[in-house]
Amino acid sequence: MKPPRIGRWALIAAGVTTLAVLCCVGGAAAYFLDGLSGDTDTANYAMGCGGVTVNADTDAKLPSLSQLSQEQMHNAAVIVAVGQQYPTPARAWVIAIATALQESNLHNYGDLGSRNDHDSLGLFQQRPSQGWGTPAQIMDPVYASRKFYAKLLTVSQWQNRSLTRAAQAVQRSAYPDAYAKHEPLATLIVNTLTGGAANSAIDQAVGHCVTDGQISAAGWTNPVPGSEVGSGFRTADRPTHQGDDLIAHRYSHIFAAAAGVVTKVRCQAHLANGTDWGCGQDGGINVFGCGWYVEITHADNVVTRYCHMVEPPGCTSGRRWLPATGSAGSAPPGTQADRTATSRCTSTGTPAQPAR
């Protein structure tokens, strides 16, 4: 199993404000980091937020990606073009591409004989026996894509679900969690074909760039809406600082940066002599550690980290990751502990979802 890729999200508090540390690992996640840090002279911002109409004609000249052959890129273009014509939001295109990557690796497979999975065919491995259409229809990428979108749009709250749960609701696969790992590449494909449509807000028309407090079509959000960047990630004066401090008002809630699973929760706060300080009270300059420390594992084994909270994660309806900002662990003195009433979730293994 490959080691997790670490995202630079964390939380810190000082003075009368709370600081949240934000950092991400490329792609859609980096889009938020660039914006919050004021660094808009990057490839993520240069790409824009969509607006390119995809031409999926056989002889159309398409952009290329090193991860895909021309055939795969053309099939991806068909899926996105159908989504644009339907029309569906850009989030649906990301889900459709990720699904096709898992089911067929963007190859329009016919009957593979003994290697075939029952009567599954085409980009989405749809089955004639399950009502998806005739074999000839399913082998038409345009038809197959339309059928996928039509089914996806019948799924209750599909835009609010993690990608793998939304895809599974359509596909009913024997491997329900397999779609998640394709989300980063699916996002890259959609952005490459459309000029950055996955950077648009999940619930707005393509071309409207995601703003603070919204979730992008790629599934990422700022975990502390309304925050400002304080101390940066590994700056010259703080080369060992493993995140970007986000300054926010007290009693601000912290949300999962993207859908994932809580994989680590622990209390880190002690004095120089090793005496446990605990995490239910403010820290200070003589306190070491991170207070409540949480890790969430996202698609493709990307991990985001959150720390300096005075309470462990809670949730609303089992989905929203919702601790309160605080200042446990190493922090200047004089701050007050912050507790809010949140329902408790299981320490690890809890689904985490951005707020809606």
The residue from 166, 199, 232 where one domain ends is 199
| Residue 31 maps to a domain | no
Q: Which one of 26-35, 69-78, 224-233 scores highest in mean pLDDT?
A: 69-78
Mean per-residue pLDDT over the chain, rounded: 75
Residues 190 and 324 in one domain: no
Q: What angle do CA 61, 28, 38 make, to 5 degrees?
A: 115
As for how many domains the chain has, the answer is: 2
Q: What is the pLDDT of residues 337-356, one digit of tens each?
A: 222 222 233 334 555 555 44
How confident is residue 322, by pLDDT bands cut at 50, 70 and 90? very low
Do 318 and 273 sit in the same domain of this protein? yes
Chain centroid, CA 139 distance in Å: 31
Alpha-carbon gap, residue 142 to 269, rounded angstroms: 57
* Phi-psi category of residue 262: left, alpha or beta, with phi > 0 → left and psi -120 to 50 → alpha: beta
CATH number at residue 69: 1.10.530
Rounded to whole angstroms, how far apart are CA atoms 51 and 34? 21
Inter-residue contact 84 to 54 (CB < 8 Å)? yes
Backbone angles phi, psi at 284, to 5 degrees: -175, -175
In a domain, 29, yes or no: no
User: How far apart, in whole angstroms, are the C-alpha atoms of residue 132 and residue 309?
Assistant: 49
Average pLDDT over residues 192-202: 91
Q: Is the pLDDT of residue 123 over 90?
A: yes
Indicate whether 251 pLDDT > 90: no
Of all helices (H) and strands (E), which one includes residue 298? Answer: none
pTM of the model: 0.76
Give the H/E segment covering residue 95: helix 90-104
Query: Comparing 178 with 243, which gets the higher pLDDT?
Result: 178
pLDDT at 300 over 80: no
Decide if 321 contacts 313 (C-beta within 8 A): yes
* Least confident piece of the model among 221-225, 323-327, 343-347: 343-347
- Per-position DSSP letters for 305-317, written without gaps between them: EEEEESS--BEET
Q: Is the pLDDT of residue 279 over 60?
A: yes
Nearest to 54 by CA among 20, 16, 18, 83: 83
Residues 68 and 102 placed together within one structural domain of the fold? yes
Q: Is the pLDDT of residue 205 over 60?
A: yes
**Residue range(s) defining the domain that contains residue 277:** 5-24+220-352
Q: Rounded CA gap, 102 and 183, in Å?
A: 10
Lowest model confidence (mean pLDDT) among 26-30, 52-56, 163-167, 217-221: 26-30
Angle of helix 70-85 relative to helix 90-104, nearest 10 degrees? 140
Q: Which of 57-61, 226-230, 275-279, 319-323 has the lowest mean pLDDT?
A: 319-323
Whether residue 209 lies inside any domain: the answer is no
In a domain, 132, yes or no: yes
State whether 227 and 192 are in the same domain: no
Structural domain includes residue 115: yes
Could you tell me if 261 and 195 lie in one domain? no
For residue 2, what pLDDT is reported?
45
For residue 250, what pLDDT band results from cuts at 50, 70 and 90?
low
Statement: residue 247 has pLDDT above 90: no
pLDDT for the residue numbered 4: 44
Kindly state whether residue 99 falls inside one of the protein's structural domains: yes
Query: pLDDT, tens digit, for every residue of 147-187?
Result: 999 999 999 989 888 899 999 999 998 888 899 999 999 99
pLDDT tens for residues 50-104? Answer: 889 999 998 899 999 999 999 999 999 999 999 999 999 999 999 999 999 999 9
User: Are residues 274 and 311 both part of a single domain?
Assistant: yes
Q: How confident is the model at residue 336 (pLDDT cuts 50, 70, 90)?
A: very low
pLDDT tier at 293 (50, 70, 90 boundaries)?
confident
DSSP state of 2: P
Amino acid at 54: V
Residue 37 within any structural domain of the chain: no
Q: Are 76 and 188 found together in one domain?
A: yes
Q: CA of 157: how far to CAs of 130, 152, 153, in Å?
A: 23, 10, 9
Same domain, 236 and 265: yes
> According to the model, what pLDDT value does residue 152 have?
98
